[in-house]
Structure 1
């Protein structure tokens, strides 16, 4: 009886910590995700919630919600409207990824596969986090359009690279995993079609529960394929968005807000769990020094490439271009996932090389809050009706700068 009461009090204390403390610290421009991660790190050092199956389940729902939300925001029309600029952006990102991976492999002597994953952790924007925080970044409608479109396109590229790297141990494994993933991709719309025909007409307002459960099942399926939970959840979101003609409720504002609330509620558990599972060998002075090197090298490079590209392609003022580039800087979720994968899958990788990803991700996630004048946090839900996003601005002259946007 005492143990049950103690357990209940522990969970109540956890809920209080995850939903109150991050809010209190937002006044200091500390993103709630970072606060949750640090709370998890502190709890693990105190021996609390170690190996807790309930927390593991809540964390899985958190990562699933994050990438379901990101997938639902993939709009093929947006990608087509900005196709030329997005294609150029992806070429630049691919070259950046290849260059960083080569530099890591050449400097440390590690195999190309973990080197590529570390490079992915350094250059891939955390799309779910960015999309949820977009309204708080202080960007105008056109800048939000480009931030959303570029973040989604870059994540699609990163997921493809992640799959290829993890399954490239042999041709047979790659072929088998590709066939299994293709089966998942084909099966998801079939399940949605069956739901639309056999269940939805007699079960109104059941779309949200169905979508979340389908995302969880797909996430576990892709986890078994060795490409982590995020791929399956992301695929369900993309498929739901494309299925909107058959079942418009799958892409309605009501459903999008419901998924956002779901992700916002469970995401703190994911970050708490990620902090609790950080390997001690990653938390050293060498890792901190490596993180500082990553920051000094990667942030100017990433911001500079995006800003210069926008200046040349759209003739934007560098000050405006820098705002979009800065909004794309946070890598928190992708960095945490990839650091965990490298530690679990690859032996002989120097701990400081992977450990440097952690301070790098924590600090770059704070950059928009510090420089764009807003506090980015995934536990901050935006339920207001947003203004329609315009198409890409391809005019020769840059639009007038709004207040505080002049570079």
Structure 2
């Protein structure tokens, strides 16, 4: 079979079949992940194809670029007090889980800290894309979005420090490089907006994606993976929205969302092929179930209790917010792979982390009213750009018929 036909079948399989299976409340990312595991078991190392690696990199980078664009710093500042309280609780949880991993799993402190981040960090990009399908009202969506974004900002900062902290010289160099990138990205965007965009109308989207990929590559070379740079690039573009409104416009966000939707399945497929055969054991299965039964109710209970005590919310509303924040899919997959490759994480723990994230990602689709969908089609009117575009299109008067004769 030719490579072209193999790629075509793979594209069809990853873009069509997972969507069809969502009718059974099986999240599309989980299906793609399972396809990757199946391909690894069937074909072994032949699944490590450079084309798939490239497509998966585009997927994870565009996903976090979109997540950065979704950050509204003004909205976060308005609720700074509650969010700071949430972050304090989250930091205490990370320290506690990290200490347990260090004390009882025999891991060094860096690996233990990464395990804590993998277990407790919600996957903001995917959570944002599920909100319109989970039956949450406007206030609940706001708090899920705010808590997820605030938690991700803290997790990305912690990830950067933890990965570099083994070598203080490297940490200093990387910190300087990161600072230079943060300072340079706005200048680069402004320069492109001044010298390129006026002569190439409509190029804002391609320039946004290009800068996001460059930033992702820089942080990958710094040793902190693609997602940090892509997220920072999206955040910088959002902060420049007043000066360069077309850069982070609703149209560009809609286009980037569709761009990410196409490439993200390849990331999950590739992540499945990276799972070791040694991780697929009964021991890993048992440990993953234990982690799920212990940590997921604990995480949900902590958020539920915060909402009840701080805002006096009804039990059901608090529970919906807590459930919507439960998926950890992307962070767990990324950090589990880093732990396995760079920190020699035991295969049993690697497999347990994978099962844990699969189960907690399934939870919202099973408990709340609609399946986990990375590109909702029939979502009710809400804050997503494509929803606003549908509203505008529906409000336009129909075009008069063309009379020919």
Task: Give the TM-score of the pair, scaled to structure 2.
Answer: 0.92
Distance 2:239 2:13 in 1: 38
Partner of 2:99: 102
Cα drift, residue 214 of structure 1: 0.8
Q: Match of 2:357? A: 361
State the 4+ residue runs in structure 1 displaced beyond 6 angstroms: none
1:8-407 matches, cutoff 5 A: 8-47=4-43, 50-347=47-344, 349-380=345-376, 386-387=382-383
Q: Structure 1 residues 228, 218: CA separation in 2 closer, same or farther (over 3 Å shift)?
A: same
CA contact (8 A) 2:48 2:273 kept: no
Summarize deviations over 1:155-188 as a string: whole Å, max 9, x none. Answer: 0000111111110012212111111111111111
Structure 2: gaps (5+ residues) = 386-405
- Judge conservation of contact 2:99–2:112 (CA < 8 Å) in 1: yes
Instruction: State the number of aligned residues.
Output: 384
Following superposition, the deviation at residue 350 of structure 1 comes to 2.6
Question: Runs of 5+ in structure 1 lacking a partner?
Answer: 390-407
SS in 1 for 2:47: coil
Contact 1:118–1:354 (CA<8 Å) still a contact in 2? no
Describe the shift of the 1:177–1:382 C-alpha distance in structure 2 as closer, same or farther (beyond 3 A).
farther
Mark the CA change 1:369 to 1:105 in structure 2 (over 3 Å): closer, same or farther. same
CA contact (8 A) 1:291 1:360 kept: yes
Q: Is the 8 A contact 2:215 2:233 kept in 1?
A: yes
Name 1:402's counterpart in structure 2.
Answer: none
CA distance in 2, matches of 1:164, 1:354: 22
CA contact (8 A) 2:276 2:347 kept: no
- Does the C-alpha gap of structure 1 residues 258 and 381 become closer, same or farther in structure 2, counting only changes over 3 Å? farther
Aligned partner of residue 356 in structure 1, secondary structure: helix
Say if 1:215 and 1:232, in contact at 8 Å, map to a contact too.
yes
| Alignment check: 8 A CA contact 1:134 1:144 kept | yes
CA deviation profile, 1:367-396 (whole Å, cap 9, x unmatched) = 11011111112254678752599xxxxxxx
CA distance in 2, matches of 1:310, 1:344: 38
For residues 23 and 246 of structure 1, the distance between their equivalents in structure 2, rounded to whole angstroms, comes to 39
Please give the root-mean-square deviation of Cα atoms over the aligned residues, in Å.
1.6
CA–CA separation in structure 2 for the residues paired with 1:316 and 1:350: 42
Moved more, 120-129 or 286-295: 286-295
The alpha carbon displacement at 1:354 in A equals 2.6
Indicate conservation of the 8 Å contact 2:41/2:277, yes or no. Answer: no
1:113-166: CA deviation from partner (whole Å, max 9, x where unpaired): 101101111100001111111111110011000001100000000011111111
Provide TM-score, normalisation by structure 1: 0.91
Q: Which residue does the alignment assign to 2:392?
A: none
- C-alpha deviation, 1:340, in angstroms: 0.6
